Amino acid sequence: MNFAASPVLTLRLPVWRSRFMVVVFFAGFAVLIGRAVYLQGWNNDFLQAKGESRYSRVIEIIANRGRITDRHGEALAISTPVKSIWVIPDEVKMDKEQLMKLSAMLEMPPQEIEKRVADKDRDFVFIKRQIPPEVADRIAELHLAGVFQSREFRRYYPGGDVMAHVLGFTGADDIGQEGVELAFQKDLAGKSGSRRVIKDRMGHIIEDMQSIKAAQEGKDIVLSLDARIQNLAFGQLREALDQHRAKAGGVVVLDAMTGELVALANLPTYNPNNRTHLSGESLRNRAITDTFEPGSTLKPFTIATALDAGRITPETTIQTAPGTLTIGKATIHDAHAEGLLTVSQVIQKSSNVGSAKIALSMPSELMWDMFHSVGFGQQPQLGFPGEATGKVRPAKTWKPIEQATMAYGHGISVSLMQLARAYSIFARDGELMPTSLMKLDSPPTAKQVIAPETARAVRAMLELAVQPGGTAPRAQIMGYRVAGKTGTAHKQEHGGYSNKYVSSFVGFAPASSPRLIVAVMIDEPSAGQYYGGTVAAPVFAKIMEGALRTLGVPPDAPMKPIVLPAAGQEVKESI
């Protein structure tokens, strides 16, 4: 082959072209070298960030939630460390045997795990949260690809269902959902921190590099509750509901000297440690959120209004014969026709007719002012979520029959907490105490609602009500003087009154120097008895007696046996 004859092989290129290519080649190398020096010498943030993204992670340090304790430091709510199991669906690799082991450890159906792992549209899926650390450790030993763990806290409530309605509970993210846990979420939660760590490709931490922000632990909260009295109140309420086959009930115990909430119990209840079968019926904090017509427990406020206005005295006589009072088309009835009664006896015998006549002798505005002054129609400001205001209509809208029935607690609605607080004016010589859920270092400033002599006069009448001849002898306590009032009211249903009842009793002791106020409400007793004197008063007596002895309050009466009326001889309050 003649190579010299080929025009391609004999082609001669210009010298400048080869030199130009050499220059371009070396210029390219210079640019690459310069870029490398720039990135690795002067501006290495980009490469450093890319490298760290392969192994460095910033993880959240969860703040430990604050404890909740009673006034004596007994733990009511604490946080315990737990683990949560989560997966990156695209990275999960499990054979059948590993799946069955994981299913057994988590106590979950394998189909449920497979369903969650199959969700490829998500980068992060929880398999199960808040599992015990020892279970999480056994899962870690399986070395499952794509399965990871994170540290969390789970709330534990030593008191269980006894404290449920006070404390409430937290959700899976440790955020308060009800009660104190919700009301004081900001203080209890604290603030999470963060730290930088090095992880291997399996997600395991192999080195702790630095702390970026320290976690701020949640604050501990000291409640005004006394766990001993709380347990006592809950136990006695449960016994009463079982005995009278009642639908529900509530108890409120207040410190008469400070306004602190000492105990609050509701039934039905729930176990905050196991909320699998939680229902709205058991979740309701009835003493705070539910309202009812208070019935005869409101009569002392009607009498106090008239006494304070100077319209009557304790010895003023009221003619209640023939035991009925007709106003327009409506007729008010007494349980027993008593005839001529003093004002003190109107309370002792719980006369509707006597109370109505006293109410009608006053302007309606006077009664409304009294109801408003003691907190009816307003939130108690205790701090619980969902506090009921109750219902007190403006006085200018009252008709004579409505003013008469309000005198004995019909046509007005209150919560058990409101009723207990209102009775502080009789226990404290006319002063209304603010209520507190937190333990106080010193008593708050009280508001004078009625004159001290008026309060003392009503207190003497309330003592008569629990003596033989009154409606509540079963509220007596051996060794202590007791003052209080029964209440029995038909329940409102479908725009009218039904044959179902709410039985109540509110009182305080020792009457000579009141220390505690106890309010009891039993909803729909159905075992035959429904009067407040036979259903609610005995519950009051047992709780008050136990609480006074627990607090070491000295007796103020002789240690004589309690005298109870013979069966069927009780004085029944009018409904």
Residue 66 — pLDDT band, cuts 50, 70, 90?
A: very high
- At 22, which amino acid appears? V
Residue 317 — pLDDT band, cuts 50, 70, 90?
A: very high
Residue 72 has pLDDT above 80, yes or no: yes
Residue 204 — pLDDT band, cuts 50, 70, 90?
A: low
Look-up of token digits 């394998």? 110
Percentage of the chain exceeding pLDDT 90? 58
Residue 91 has pLDDT above 80, yes or no: no
Residue 381 — pLDDT band, cuts 50, 70, 90?
A: confident
**Cβ atoms < 10 Å from Cβ of 377:** 18
Work out the average pLDDT over 221-248: 97
CA dist 176 to 189, 190, 262, 292, 496, Å?
A: 9, 12, 22, 28, 38
Planar angle of CA 89, 136, 168, nearest 5 degrees: 95
State phi, psi for 429 to the nearest 5 degrees. Answer: 55, 45
Work out the average pLDDT over 541-567: 91
Most confident region among 99-103, 280-284, 491-495, 521-525 by mean pLDDT: 521-525
- Closest by CA position to 416, among listed 245, 565, 266: 266
Residue 154 has pLDDT above 70, yes or no: yes
Specify which residues 326 forms β-bridges with: 331
Q: What is the widest separation between alpha-carbon atoms in the chain?
A: 151
Q: Within 13-109, where are the H helices?
A: 15-37, 45-55, 96-106
Residue 205 has pLDDT above 70, yes or no: no
Work out the average pLDDT over 12-19: 73
pLDDT recorded at residue 197: 56
CATH superfamily of 59-222: Penicillin-binding protein 2a (Domain 2) (3.90.1310.10)
The CATH code for residues 227-270+286-551 is: 3.40.710.10
Q: Within 335-448, where are the H helices?
A: 343-349, 352-360, 364-373, 400-406, 416-422, 424-427
Extended beta strands in 374-528, E state: 431-432, 447-448, 483-493, 496-509, 516-523
Residue 551 — pLDDT band, cuts 50, 70, 90?
A: very high
Between CA 398 and CA 11 the distance in angstroms is: 120
The tokens for 209 are 């590099």
Work out the average pLDDT over 516-536: 95
- At 237, which amino acid appears? L
Residue 96 — pLDDT band, cuts 50, 70, 90?
A: confident
Residue 200 has pLDDT above 90, yes or no: no
According to DSSP, residue 394 is labeled -
pLDDT recorded at residue 9: 57
Handedness of CA 140, 146, 152, 157 (dihedral sign): negative
- Closest by CA position to 366, among listed 241, 450, 296, 435: 450
Look-up of token digits 């899926």? 125
Residue 214 has pLDDT above 80, yes or no: no
Quick check: 369 and 353 in contact, CB under 8 A?
Answer: no
Planar angle of CA 505, 510, 514, nearest 5 degrees: 85
Helix, strand and coil in the chain, % to nearest 5 = 35, 25, 40
Residue 173 CB partners (closer than 8 Å, separation 6+): none
Most confident region among 208-212, 284-288, 393-397, 539-543 by mean pLDDT: 539-543
Does the reported pTM lie above 0.85?
no
Residue 296 — pLDDT band, cuts 50, 70, 90?
A: very high
The tokens for 225 are 């509750």
pLDDT recorded at residue 54: 55
Burial 409-441 (b: 16+ CB within 10 A, else e): bbbbbbbbbbbbbbbbbbbbbbbbbbbbbbbee
Work out the average pLDDT over 154-178: 90
CA dist 274 to 147, 162, 234, 451, 502, Å?
A: 27, 13, 19, 50, 31
Q: What is the pLDDT of residues 108-147, one digit of tens each?
A: 888 888 888 887 677 678 888 878 888 888 888 888 887 8
The tokens for 543 are 């709780």
Please indicate whether residue 254 or residue 3 has the higher confidence score (pLDDT). Answer: 254
Quick check: 409 and 296 in contact, CB under 8 A?
Answer: yes
What's the burial of 259, exposed, middle or buried (CB within 10 Å: 0-12/13-18/19+)? buried
Please indicate whether residue 93 or residue 162 has the higher confidence score (pLDDT). Answer: 162
Work out the average pLDDT over 462-476: 94
Between CA 110 and CA 432 the distance in angstroms is: 61
pLDDT recorded at residue 467: 93
Torsion-angle region of residue 93: left (phi > 0), alpha (psi -120 to 50) or beta? beta
- Closest by CA position to 295, among listed 416, 382, 434: 416
Mean of the per-residue pLDDT values of the chain:
88
Residue 13 has pLDDT above 90, yes or no: no
Residue 193 — pLDDT band, cuts 50, 70, 90?
A: low
Quick check: 150 and 60 in contact, CB under 8 A?
Answer: no
- Closest by CA position to 335, among listed 562, 536, 567, 532: 532
Burial 319-350 (b: 16+ CB within 10 A, else e): ebeebebebeeeebebbeebeebbbbbbbbbb
Work out the average pLDDT over 518-534: 94
Residue 1 — pLDDT band, cuts 50, 70, 90?
A: low
Which of 277-281, 377-381, 546-550 has the least mean pLDDT? 277-281
pLDDT recorded at residue 358: 97
Q: What is the pLDDT of residues 402-455, one digit of tens each?
A: 999 999 999 999 999 999 999 999 999 999 999 999 999 998 999 999 999 999
Residue 199 — pLDDT band, cuts 50, 70, 90?
A: low
List the catalytic residues.
296
Work out the average pLDDT over 88-94: 79
